[in-house]
Amino acid sequence: MSARIQQIHHMGLWVCIVVGVIVFGAMFYTMFAHRRSRHPVPATFSHSTLVEIVWTTIPVLILVGMAIPAAIALREIENNEDSDITVVITASQWKWHYRYLETDISYYSNIATPDEQIYNLEPKDEHYLLDADNPLVLPTNKKIRFLVTSDDVIHSWWVPDFAVKQDAIPGFINEAWAIVPTPGTYRGQCTELCGQGHGFMPIVVEVRPEAEFDQWIEDQRIAAELAGGAAVAARAKTWTMDELMPIGQETFLKHCATCHERDGMGQGTKYPALSGSAIATGEMADHLERVMNGVADTEMQAWAPQLSDLEIAAVITYERNSWANSTGDIIQPITVYKAR
């Protein structure tokens, strides 16, 4: 479809170039030939019905000529029927969640570009800002239907090579589709202003031949089972501070530091500091409640559905024992599990 759209783009561009050359040509000619030094006595005509009819009619014909192919292409683009695979894309600040409707595999996809590159402390790599931790994986030559929605504000899912740009709107489920003939990695970005992380919401799609895609689905299924087993094991174990802190730091940097900052100092009142905060140094139960359920109608989202018991336990432990905070508190994954 993107090739068709490119044709329409070229059609529009060439019409504009040709009309532009004619109109600007006429302007430059008259500016040259009819300037006072060459043309001291101005003509006196001030209307011509025939000419005016002609230059009203010709643009209408050109426009009709452009509208017809555009309308035909549009009808094909909006035909979402007969899809082979459906992916539900749920946007939230500032990440994507992908769910394969048929196989019920689902995961979050976050930006993978480290802060050090964004803040110019490290050289920027080739896919700066366009790298995701968990890319969307799709098979070649299948009609893939995307169902796009949002959990909070409006986002927009755009992969230029697929010619798919669909707004993710809370309360709405929008449709789009793509068939990708060539395997490879395709990249895009969020294209609707969605808050401070708007520029940091990349989309990465890996398109694989069908057999490889099926294998990947199988791998994901097994990985999900293993993760379930690991979660049970994590709950059974009693963790020490030294074990939790590095996991907590990793989780914090990935999910929390965008707003609360690496040094825990936050950004003003909107994104409060955690260092020395009443919640991160007060009652453990309040801290757990805040992390799991978030604060309604703010960017502080509920993390319970997004993070594992271990990650939540680790990040809370990290927050209570970093920067100016030294409560010495440890929370165990089993406590998080019980609070769910």
Partner 1 sequence: MVAHAETAHTNRHPLIAFASRWLFTTNHKEIGSLYLWLSLTLFFIAGGMAMVIRLELFEPGIQFVEPEFYNQVLTLHGLIMVFGAVMPAFVGLANWLIPMMIGAPDMALPRMNNFSFWILPFAFTMLLSSLFMEGGAPNFGWTFYAPLSTTYGPPSTDFFILGVHLMGISSIMGAINIIVTIVNLRAPGMTYMRMPMFVWTWFITAFLLIMVMPVLAGVVTMMLTDRHFGTSFFEASGGGDPVMFQHIFWFFGHPEVYIMILPGFGIASQIIPTFSRKKLFGYSSMVWASASIAFLSFIVWGHHMFTTGMPVATELFFMFATMLIAVPTGVKVFNWVATMWRGSITFETPMLFSIGFVMMFTIGGFSGLMLALVPADFQYHDTFFVVAHFHYVLYPGAIFGTMAAVYYWLPKWCGHMYDERLGKIHFWTATFAVNLTFFPMHFTGLAGMPRRIPDYSLQFADFNMVSSVGAGLLGLTQVLFLYIVIKTIRGGVKATDQVWEGAVGLEWTIPSPAPHHTFETPPEIVEGRAY
- Judged by CB under 8 A, the chain residues 146 through 165 that form the site for partner 1 are 152-154, 156, 158, 160, 163-165
Q: How far is the CB of 66 from partner 1 (least distance, A)?
A: 7
Segment interacting with partner 1, rule: CB under 8 A, options 96-104, 137-145, 262-270, 280-288:
262-270
Segment interacting with partner 1, rule: CB under 8 A, options 37-45, 97-105, 204-212, 280-288:
37-45
Sole binder of partner 1 in the list 133, 141, 172, 241 (CB under 8 A): 172
Q: What are phi and psi of 92, to 5 degrees?
A: -150, 170
Q: Is 66 in the site for partner 1 (CB under 8 A)?
A: yes
Residue 178 one-letter amino acid: A
Sole binder of partner 1 in the list 3, 50, 60, 236 (CB under 8 A): 60
Asked whether 304 and 294 are in contact (CB, 8 A), the reply is no
Give, in order, the Cα–Cα distances in Å from 215 to each of 134, 218, 225, 264: 16, 5, 16, 42
Closer residue to partner 1 (CB): 191 or 249: 191
Segment interacting with partner 1, rule: CB under 8 A, options 62-70, 178-186, 209-217, 322-330:
62-70
**DSSP helix/strand/coil, 81:** coil
Name the nearest CA neighbour of 252 among 155, 115, 128: 115
Q: How far is the CB of 80 from partner 1 (least distance, A)?
A: 11
Residues with Cβ within 8 Å of 243's Cβ and at least 6 positions away in sequence, in order, are none
Name the nearest CA neighbour of 288 among 271, 265, 307: 307
Q: Is 200 in the site for partner 1 (CB under 8 A)?
A: yes
Chain centre distance of CA 19 = 37
Closer residue to partner 1 (CB): 161 or 250: 161
Window 97-126: residues binding partner 1 (CB under 8 A) = 117-120, 124, 126
Asked whether 289 and 244 are in contact (CB, 8 A), the reply is no
Sole binder of partner 1 in the list 3, 36, 82, 238 (CB under 8 A): 36
Q: Is 312 in the site for partner 1 (CB under 8 A)?
A: no
Give, in order, the Cα–Cα distances in Å from 175 to each of 164, 255, 330: 10, 29, 45
Residues with Cβ within 8 Å of 294's Cβ and at least 6 positions away in sequence, in order, are 300, 301, 302, 303
Q: How far is the CB of 173 from partner 1 (least distance, A)?
A: 8
Q: Is 262 in the site for partner 1 (CB under 8 A)?
A: no
Q: What are phi and psi of 238, to 5 degrees?
A: -100, 120
| Token couple for 124 | 């920027």
Q: Is 87 in the site for partner 1 (CB under 8 A)?
A: no
Sole binder of partner 1 in the list 42, 50, 82, 238 (CB under 8 A): 42
Segment interacting with partner 1, rule: CB under 8 A, options 27-35, 136-144, 281-289, 323-331:
27-35
Across the beta sheet with 144-150, the strand order is 105-109, 95-100, 85-92, 144-150, 174-178
Q: Is 82 in the site for partner 1 (CB under 8 A)?
A: no
- DSSP label of 338: H
Q: How far is the CB of 202 from partner 1 (least distance, A)?
A: 8
Q: Is 14 in the site for partner 1 (CB under 8 A)?
A: no
**Cα atoms in the Cβ-side hemisphere of radius 13 Å centred on 171:** 1
Q: How far is the CB of 305 from partner 1 (least distance, A)?
A: 16
Element (H, E) at 175: strand 174-178
Q: How far is the CB of 98 from partner 1 (least distance, A)?
A: 19
Number of residues that bind partner 1 (CB under 8 A): 94
Closer residue to partner 1 (CB): 26 or 278: 26
Closer residue to partner 1 (CB): 161 or 329: 161
